[in-house]
Structure 1
Amino acid sequence: MKFRTFSLLLVLALIAAFTLLNWQIIMAPTALSLGVAQVQAPLGLIMLGLMVALIALFLVYLLYLQTTVMFDARAHAKELQTNRKLADEAEASRFTELRSFLDLEFKRMDLADIAAKAALTTRIDQLERDLRLSVEQSGNSLAASMAEMDDRMRAGGSNLR
């Protein structure tokens, strides 16, 4: 039980005990003025009746407030659920859009990769041809230079003899 509820029940129990202990005095008749006339009635009983009426009025007001809060909470919960559903749908559509964007980008990157590989293969083939040609030319140059040196050496050797 909550502290507020317990304290309220305790106060009501104390008022009931006070009323029972002083019942004789509460029921004692007294001259009461109603403004236009005077009446003989028990003042304590009238005050007790007014207090009970006030407590009943507060309980009705409390029930009204609690009912209003419950209806508002239910309306807010429905609105929150609707907003959550809309947010989930928006998030799902963003994920779908992101997936399609990533698929498109990966396809574009694959095409760029294939084009780069083709260009690289072509360039490597060209460099290999150039290297073979260069090696052949160097080999031919070297062979010609060696033949020329050989001829000079033979020609120089026959002059020495």
Structure 2
Amino acid sequence: MTRAIALFVGLTLVGLFALLNWNTFVTPQPLSLGFTTVDAPLGLVMLAIVGFLSVLFIVWAMTMQAGALMESRRLAKELQSQRELADKAEASRFTELRNFLTAELQTVAVSQDQTRALLVSRLDRAQESARAAQEETANTLSAYIGELEDRLERAQVVPAQYERTDTLARR
């Protein structure tokens, strides 16, 4: 923007200078073109060259600006399409992650169920084993006590009031 203002101010000063010295600008002078000489107003020729170069520069600047705008729009569209592609890829990754986590959680749940079933069966076996050991111990203890009572009865160390109740049932 500042360049355009500087160019406008410069062209305005050249135009003002030409207007103030208009008589000198239009006075014909002999001009050498290299192979011939021509009588023409030097100021007008120089003013025409400056005007032509200014128009040429303005056209060039507008072309550059238009090209930059077109490139900017193209890049914006490409950026938008890349952003949409990235969003789709991100959504795809999230879907893939969700599916993976679901599968892993199902695997963990199955493993947990298997572990629970194994643990319950082991506990049942341990409980059954403990019950069998307890019954065996109780039977062994009863047998020892019974054997002791029999020995004591044979030795007649046990008074009659302490007789076994199961011996009464046998009689």
Q: Equivalents in 2 of 1:9, 1:126: separation in Å?
A: 102
Q: Percent identity among equivalent residues? A: 39
Superposed CA deviations along residues 85-144 of structure 1, whole A, max 9, x for unmatched, are 333333323322322222222222222211111111111111111112222233333444
Secondary structure of the structure 2 residue equivalent to 1:35:
coil
Q: CA deviation at 1:9?
A: 2.8
Q: Say whether 1:33 aligns with 2:32.
A: yes
Normalising by structure 1, report the TM-score. 0.77
After superposition, residues 102-121 of structure 1 pair within 5 angstroms as 102-121=101-120
Q: CA deviation at 1:3?
A: 2.9
Q: Equivalents in 2 of 1:157, 1:5: separation in Å?
A: 137
Query: Structure 1 stretch 111-120 or stretch 83-92: which is displaced more?
Result: 83-92
After superposition, residues 59-98 of structure 1 pair within 5 angstroms as 59-98=58-97
Aligned partner of 1:46 in structure 2 is 45
Q: 1:42 to 1:141 in 2, by over 3 A?
A: same
Normalising by structure 2, report the TM-score. 0.73
Q: Equivalents in 2 of 1:149, 1:7: separation in Å?
A: 129
Q: 1:157 to 1:28 in 2, by over 3 A?
A: farther
Aligned partner of 1:140 in structure 2 is 139
Aligned partner of 1:130 in structure 2 is 129
CA root-mean-square deviation: 2.7
